[in-house]
Chain A
């Protein structure tokens, strides 16, 4: 059985979710790959960014 990576798992999920900003998947996947960062804070910031003004 193939073990999916967290990134693959997330991308598969995001493809199924509707009404999300189009650039979110790519930017979120980019964040998942990063190591040694406060990922939760970075994800929060990303959600705020894509929420717009």
Chain B
């Protein structure tokens, strides 16, 4: 449901210093007349600012702030208030702080066409036209998705190509250089290797792809590998051989201790302990030694026993301190011997001769420690030297125990493993390639379909728009040899206007169309866009769009707007009096506003007409006492009326080279009109002749302002009478019922008003 404008209120805005209200009734169409500089375009500016958030002309010049009235009352806020038939109305105050979301609902819609930017669209490049259309149609989101689908498709195309190349590499490897490889040939190769290895061959390549199969195959040949591993370990062990650590100081400390006096006490330690026990138990005769029975001083004896016991205990602790490390060394020597003995056996098992491992002195060391005897340190050092020599000798021999080269079986196993690995990789690459191809097929199906639909839909849209453009253009330019106007696609991202020019297709049409033809085309495109795509805005504003049109085409545009867009609210602003009058006649139900003047202090002044324009203006002047002004307006009204009638009835008028043919003298118009009436409505001419003569006289005197200056002013009653004559003539060509002209439809020779009750030539009632 589209919305219409009902009221516009402006405060301190553009040419309005204080407040100005424009009433559009219940969303009625309105034609607004005003000479240049009377401020009528302020209405278009206010609506553009409200519905677009900016005035393009000002934004383009970087003068957005110029929406404010310059030099207005201090402190008065600049604002525009719009009332609509729906929800789009509201009030905007400068500075405008609305966000782009405010305009989202109608930002794509067309509602304003200005004379100064009339041909902007048709002068755009093909690509710019395309972008503008994409914006209007809301195709940008659809286009953006197409680009993403295309990117996804292209990526998948690359991925698929890479996967195919990978497959080719494996195929070449498995087929010894060829591009094709079959499952059967690969299985045959596998079977041959398995036969050589004595391994059960696989039944299918899927079986080979299972890691368990190759594990089982390798497991069957594990012994061969174990042998190889054993040799490697033996060599590693030999190379790591090292004599045990030998702490000579510990042994020397031990030896020093065991030959000391304190150590000699140790064998008597038990005897001293027994004596102490007997004394403490008082189990011996008092005053006698509990061991030998000799008479002794009991206290002295006890002190001597205690002293001996302390000395024995200290010697015992020292021995203990050295005994453990020495026994650990003895264990190390024993361990070193055992290790070498084992290596000796393994090396011998490989068929190599090694010297016997030197006998370890560990047992002798242990015996000497047990007997608290000195240990033979030199013997230990000598033994360690022998061990080092043995290690060196065996290490030299170990260099000959290098790992044997792979056996034929090992080679076959490796071949099998490598083949299995290749097969797995090949199969994975095939899967990957197939998947990439499937993904690419989906992407291409979606993308191609999307692009096709986009093209078809756009084609359909262009066809619909073109149909309307052609319809509107042909209404403005009927019967010309310029035909078949359309908007056509131009490569992938371009559109262009095209037209048939004497059988030749012109795209773009600039080379064959005059400026006014191009402007007609621009108006046709504007109206077609609005008629095709507006969903929210039910009004159109046309601001001074007829500058390059001649009288005939202004009339046709008025007809197109009044008749073809009667379902729309049109707001037409013009400085052309004749177009204003013509539109007023063509669309009597429209509101009419005239901007009469503008001043810096008070802004625009307007007049609202209730009846037809110029005559109403003349009457208003007369009522206000401005007789001269009324005479001027009356003369203009007569001139416009005669011009309009002559054009409608195609009266023969002289053509004047280089002069405005739509601004002829009133005398010329009377001549043309009489000729036409004589030809088509002779009886009407006869009845009108007295009126014509009166009016010709009025033009020469009452309505002649220049004559007033020399002969004195006309009286109000004279002007009043002249105006009544003009009104009667005007009424003669208007239907009293539908208020449209009698040539509203039909041909100049036989026409009727909109309702059909009035006709030209007039129907004579018998």
Contact = CB atoms under 8 A, between A and B. Distances in A.
Interface of A: 1-6, 9-10, 12-14, 16-17, 19-21, 24, 28, 32, 39-41, 43-44, 47-48, 50-53
A44 B137 contact: no
A20 B155 CA distance: 19
Contacts of A5: 141
A13 B435 contact: no
A16 to B, nearest CB: 7
Contact of A40 (B151, B442, B535): B151
B532 interface: yes
B442 A9 contact: no
Contact of A43 (B137, B144, B152, B436): B152
B490 to A, nearest CB: 22
A24 to B, nearest CB: 7
A7 to B, nearest CB: 8
Contacts of A3: 108, 137-138, 533, 535
Given A5-B141, A9-B453, A40 B152 contact: yes
A11 B439 CA distance: 19
A1 B532 contact: yes
A9 B152 contact: no
Contacts of B138: 3-4
Interface string B410-445: 000000000000000000000100011011101101
B446 interface: yes
Given A41-B152, A47-B439, A17 B141 contact: no
Contact of B435 (A12, A44, A48): A48
B156 A44 contact: yes
A51 B142 contact: no
Q: List 4 tightest A-B contacts by C-beta distance, closest first.
A: A40-B151, A3-B138, A51-B439, A51-B438
B148 A24 contact: no
Most chain A beta-carbon contacts within 10 A, residue among B144, B442, B449, B461: B442
A17 B435 CA distance: 20
Interface in B148-200: 148-149, 151-152, 155-156
Interface of B: 108, 137-138, 141-142, 144-145, 147-149, 151-152, 155-156, 431, 435-436, 438-440, 442-443, 445-446, 449-450, 453-454, 457, 461, 464, 532-533, 535
A46 to B, nearest CB: 8
Q: Does more than half of chain B's interface fall in helix, strand or loop, or is it mixed?
A: helix
Given A1-B533, A3-B533, A6-B142, A44 B152 contact: yes
Contacts of A12: 453
Contacts of A53: 431, 435
A4 to B, nearest CB: 7
A19 B82 CA distance: 54
A6 B445 contact: no
B148 A39 contact: yes
B438 A13 contact: no
B142 A4 contact: yes
Nearest to A28: B446
Contacts of B151: 40, 44
A51 B533 contact: no
Contacts of B450: 10, 13
A10 B145 contact: yes
Nearest to B432: A53
A32 B142 CA distance: 10
A20 B442 contact: yes
A46 B370 CA distance: 85
Nearest to A14: B446
17 contacts: A3-B137, A3-B138, A3-B533, A3-B535, A9-B142, A13-B446, A13-B449, A20-B446, A28-B446, A32-B145, A39-B148, A44-B155, A44-B439, A44-B443, A48-B156, A51-B442, A53-B431
B110 to A, nearest CB: 12
Nearest to A25: B446
A47 B156 contact: yes
Contact of A50 (B108, B148, B442, B453): B442
